[in-house]
Amino acid sequence: MGRLWQTLILSRWQSVLTYLPVETVIKRRQQAYYDQLAAADAQADCSNFIEFILTAIEESLQEAINADHAPETPGKTLVKTPVKTPDQILSLLRDAPSLSIPQLASSLGKSDSAIERAIRKLREAGRLIRVGPDKGGHWQVLDENHTNQP
> In CATH, what number is assigned to the domain containing residue 104?
1.10.10.10
Judge if 63 and 90 occupy the same domain. no
- Band of pLDDT at residue 141, cut at 50, 70 and 90: very high
* Contact of 128 with 104, CB cutoff 8 Å: no
- pLDDT more than 90, % of the chain: 21
Judge if 131 and 96 occupy the same domain. yes
Q: Which residue has the higher pLDDT, 25 or 106?
A: 106
Judge if 64 and 9 occupy the same domain. yes
What's residue 138's pLDDT? 92
Domain of 50? 2-68
What's the pLDDT tens digit per position in 24-83? 777 888 888 889 889 989 999 989 988 988 888 888 888 777 776 555 555 555 555 567
What's residue 117's pLDDT? 92
Judge if 62 and 103 occupy the same domain. no
- Band of pLDDT at residue 150, cut at 50, 70 and 90: very low
Q: Could you tell me if residue 134 is inside a domain? A: yes
Q: Which residue has the higher pLDDT, 44 or 144?
A: 44
Q: Could you tell me if residue 43 is inside a domain? A: yes
Containing 33, the helix (H) or strand (E) segment is: helix 30-43
Q: Could you tell me if residue 80 is inside a domain? A: no
Long-range Cβ contact pairs of 87-91 (< 8 A, separation 24 or more): 89/115, 89/118, 89/119, 89/122, 89/128, 90/122, 90/127, 90/128, 90/141, 91/23
Judge if 63 and 94 occupy the same domain. no
Dihedral (Cα; 15, 21, 27, 31), 10-degree rounding: -60
The pTM (predicted TM-score) of the whole model is: 0.44
The number of distinct structural domains making up the chain is 2
Q: Which residue has the higher pLDDT, 44 or 143?
A: 44
